Amino acid sequence: MLKPARHARCTTLNAVERRKFRHKRTSVIVSQEGFFNNYGSLAAIARRPLRHYPLPIMTSLEASGSRMGGVRFLGRRRSYARLLARGAVLLMVSLGLYRFWLMTDVRRFLWASTEIDGETLEYAGTPFELLLGFLVAIAVLVPIYAGFFIAALDLGVVGELTGLAAFLGLAVLGQYAIYRARRYRLTRTIFRGLRFTQDGSAWIYAIRAASWWLLTALTLGLAYPFQLASLERYKMRHTYYGTLPGRFAGAGWKLFLRGVPMWLLLVAPLALSVAAFIEAVDWTALSNAVAQGGDDVMARIEGGNPALGEVIVFAMLMVGLSVLLAVLLYPVFQAMVLRWWTAGLRFGEIEAASSLRIRHVYGAYMRFLWWGLLFTVVLGVLAIPLLIAIGALAGKLPDSGAGDIAASLVGLGGYVIAALGYSTIYRATVQLSLWQLGAEALHLIGVERLDRVEARGEASSPLGEGLADALNVGGY
């Protein structure tokens, strides 16, 4: 029998040892994935000071009989930026072929850096699966594109309708690819040794999504919240973590009420410009001027509508104001949608809540603007001596065309470098920040249910991911 005092001391020591063990377990879990060999010291990532996190980290709590689990992001921004920078260089050297390996590395980094209730995610996909899926998708798309091209050669009604049919067909096919790509990513996501799965019909989802997009366009965006809610309900209804079924509890009308003030701010300047145009234009004089034709149509239109020039200037100012408001309010809308979507996620009895702040999303975009501006200055400074050298070469060889060829090559190379540079900066700032913010603002209620989940499902075909990549509708 132990004495009471000694027993209390042993309990304290065991608690300390348990905390040390939990701290080391993160390093062990991620290093087992092979991630550690490529991206630096995982122990350093696990020991990252708490002050680096933009949002408070939730620890396990007892609330209303259900345990609340927090989510942490353990990755270092600098390591992720190095990964993307190296990938951009290899993309340029390999003419884009390296993107399958880069996409796999990015997912491994993000998955392994996301800790849920003390356990990290694991990404089990391979770049060869993505490459194979892309090649199969290209083999499927080439005959489709060829059929549209041959049909477009017809000068009759068929040729005129080919463009519309191609647009509608590719729109539905793109939504099909999005659903199949989501299935691939879920079945390659493993947590606590169990994989996520997704069933359901990709074609049904594609038709629903295309119909919702048409309705959203007809309503000038007012149906978008209901579109998101409907599509998320379908996706989550067919999503499982092991034997634990998913569902989506977000209501479209709640997002609508939050977003309609911003919609009114964006539409109001456009409505004012349209109203001013209708009020100022003499429609009888305009129709007469157009009916007469001739080279002086514009002069007759301006003569019959003396206020037309002022209305056009006013409309341009209103359109500019609407665009400016859209740029300024987009982070607000993005934060609002992300918080609404996160709070609607459910897996069985597990509920989610989000504490995402709008100012943190603005911070992500401000970081992108700063690094983008710095990259632009550096690119401009490096381009000046190169342009001077090309000008000197063109002066020495005026008839050979070498200067024009060199200028074209430099222009093409500059475009590729600029595109890859801005894309890398955006992914290293905005996309990484949104992933981190969304994860760290997420709080799960009832995580003890995870201990009773059993395995279910198997890995799906990578064709959906390849088709999404070929149609340029892919994502993480």
> What confidence tens digit (pLDDT) does each residue in 150-178 have?
777 765 666 667 777 778 888 899 999 99
What DSSP designation does 183 have?
A: H
Residue 14 has pLDDT above 70, yes or no: no
Average pLDDT over residues 420-429: 94
Give residue 163's pLDDT.
72
DSSP E strand boundaries for 155-309: 189-191, 194-198, 239-241, 244-248
Closest among 39, 71, 13, 9 to 437, alpha carbons compared: 71
Q: How many CA atoms lie within 13 A of 467 on its CB side?
A: 23
Residue 83 has pLDDT above 60, yes or no: yes
Tokens for 159? 């040729």
- Domain extents for the chain? 32-120+344-454, 251-333
Q: For helices 463-470 and 127-152, what crossing angle results, to 10°?
A: 50
More confident residue, 68 or 236: 236
- Report pTM: 0.78
* pLDDT tens-digit map of 460-469: 888 878 888 8
What is d(CA 96, CA 108) in angstroms, rounded to the nearest whole number? Answer: 20
Bridge partners for 119 per DSSP: 116
Helix (H, G, I), strand (E, B), or coil: what is residue 191? strand
DSSP E strand boundaries for 91-221: 114-116, 119-123, 189-191, 194-198
State which amino acid sits at residue 264. L
Tokens for 224? 């978008």
Give residue 23's pLDDT.
42
What is d(CA 259, CA 326) in angstroms, rounded to the nearest whole number? Answer: 12
Contact partners, residue 3, CB within 8 Å, separation at least 6: none
Helix (H, G, I), strand (E, B), or coil: what is residue 31? helix
